[in-house]
Chain A
Amino acid sequence: MLRLPRFELRQPTSLGEAVTLLREEGAGAMVMAGGTDLLPNMKHELFTPRVVVSLGRVPELRGITRDPDGTLVVGAMARIAEIASSESVRKQAPALAQAAGLVAGPQLRRAGTIGGNVLLDTRCQYYNQSYFWRSALGFCLKKDGVVCHVVAGGSRCVAAASADCAPALMTLGAVLEIVGANGHRTVAIDEFWLGDGIVNRRLAVGEILVAIRIPPTPPGHRGAYGKLRERGSIDFPLLGVACRLDVGDGDRVEHGDLVLTALAARPKRIPQAASRLVSTRLGTEEFRAAIDELGALAHRQCHTLANVPGDQEWRREMIPVYVRRTLQAAAAGNGPVHHV
């Protein structure tokens, strides 16, 4: 049995009220969206806030709408299940819809939110454990300790970015809308991450992610998400691969992107993806060669660590396999890619 530590629950009914509450409470407060990441972490005593501010009753954060210029505006409190089944998301951002559909299991997709998934705490098998378990090992860099159990002698936390939706949003060029006591700001999701496993995102105390803006995609846009995990449901990714192919006349690729996650503190883009894919024609030997080469490049550039469960060597060998299969799925207008 895992009990939550004591806290005071606040349930603001407007965004303004939530911002004011967070300003008053300062660092002693934490924001709760769906609670599916925060509450287990609190049960493990990874967080022990004095006040929890629930966004469940803030209407401004809900819903998926479209701006006149075609930008999809996804409220931060839109449920993961809503994203997975939304016709507009599936059409404009297939990689995101696929990634959302593979998050956790059906009950958690109903509770979890897109905002919560983007802001998911980094994960490590030496961190996501009960207080008792962690105390037996002498704690770690990320919480209460001074050593890293993943990298011997390591002084930098390597807990892994594990949000399925984040790499998909990166391929889509998403922009995050954030509100705090100092007003409103926007930040490109690529610029949002820090390479630090302890805190991997640039979000100040008291700030709330309110919406995610997904720019319009061209008619030939295709995308897919591949997820390696132990079981066909529930689990966090052992590896996540999001890709994008914008296809123009004559099945020629006009834009491409490839982002991997569950490796290090931030999702990792393969920078050569765009140049290697652009101007290749789908279904040709040239395209097959390009995706093979990208698989090999990703294998060279990405190193698996014992931060998440599973055999690291096997996870690394699966990188080219998942890169290839996910790009193939996108090219064919299929996906998601998963082995079970």
Chain B
Amino acid sequence: MHLKVNGDVHDVDAPDHWTLLEVLRYRLGLTGSKQGCDKGDCGACTVLVDGEPMISCLILAREAEGREIVTIEGLWPLHLARGGEGPDPVQDAFDRYGALQCGFCQSGMILSARALLDRTPSPTDEEIARALSGNLCRCTGYTQILQAVQSIVARARGVEPPRRSWEAANVGRQAGER
């Protein structure tokens, strides 16, 4: 079968019962998409299919033929190809806000956030939460994840981004104080 992943067409051979996630990970070596619950609960395997976040563990690879697939590995190169600099702004914001603990949910979270911002450049906090509601963070690091996305929106609106948790904790603390 032919799969278009991150802008490249790959000629891959896999049996009918393989999922898109399995082909990405075990044929193409793209292990950024995580195999979590493998039954559609956790969202760790989220990839973009024609620009929309989808659960790749519940899509048969052959059903994804003819669709444009973007995985976490493709995000930075695609951003550069569109004339951007540095990592994709969502990746950069997740980095700056410490929006990960173990990191397992991160690729899915970032892709869900990317698709939201492509569709709705200035979403409300509720729209952000709703767009990420199919991605579970088992470490419960949701506050920083939401703040990371809010910071991109704040930058676009030209307003003050949310204060990062460790900065808030430092408010009022004097040098030398424990």
Contact = CB atoms under 8 A, between A and B. Distances in A.
A78 to B, nearest CB: 15
A264 B46 CA distance: 33
A106 B62 contact: no
Q: Majority SS of interface residues in chain A?
A: loop
Given A4-B17, A6-B15, A40-B39, A111 B131 contact: no
B134 A233 contact: yes
B40 interface: yes
A234 B41 contact: yes
A52 B38 CA distance: 19
Nearest to B66: A57
Chain A: interface residue count, which band?
20 to 34
Interface in A1-49: 1-9, 11, 35-36, 39-40, 43-44
B16 A105 contact: no
A338 to B, nearest CB: 12
Contact of B60 (A40, A54, A233): A54
A39 B35 CA distance: 15
Contact of B130 (A5, A56, A106): A106
Most chain B beta carbons < 10 A, residue from A8, A9, A105, A233: A105
Interface residues of B, number: 30
Given A36-B55, A40-B58, A54-B63, A2 B41 contact: no
Contacts of A7: 16-17
A105 B43 contact: yes
B89 interface: no
A104 interface: yes
Contacts of B19: 4, 39
A232 interface: yes
Contact of B134 (A40, A44, A54, A107): A107
A36 B60 CA distance: 11
Interface in A75-117: 104-108, 110-111
Interface of A: 1-9, 11, 35-36, 39-40, 43-44, 52, 54, 56, 104-108, 110-111, 232-234
15 contacts: A2-B38, A4-B17, A7-B17, A9-B63, A11-B62, A11-B63, A40-B58, A44-B39, A104-B134, A105-B135, A106-B131, A107-B40, A107-B43, A233-B134, A234-B134
